[in-house]
Amino acid sequence: MIKPIAKLIVALNGNLKKGQIAAGFSWGFLLGLVPAGNVFWILLFVVSFFFKHHHASKVLVLAVIKILINTINPLLDTLGWEFLHIEALEPLFTTLYNTPFVPFTRFNNTLVAGGLLSGIGLFAPVFLLVFLLVPLYRSKAVPFLRNLKIVQIVKKLPLISALGKAAAAAAGSKGTDR
Write down the pLDDT at residue 64. Answer: 93
High-pLDDT (> 90) share of the chain, %? 46
CB 39 within 8 A of CB 105: yes
Residues 6+ apart with CB under 8 A from 178: 20, 52, 53, 54, 55
Task: List the chain domain ranges.
Answer: 2-172
The tens digit of pLDDT for each residue in 116-142 reads 999 999 999 999 999 999 888 878 777
The rounded mean pLDDT for the chain is 84
- In this prediction, residues 99-118 reach a mean pLDDT of 90
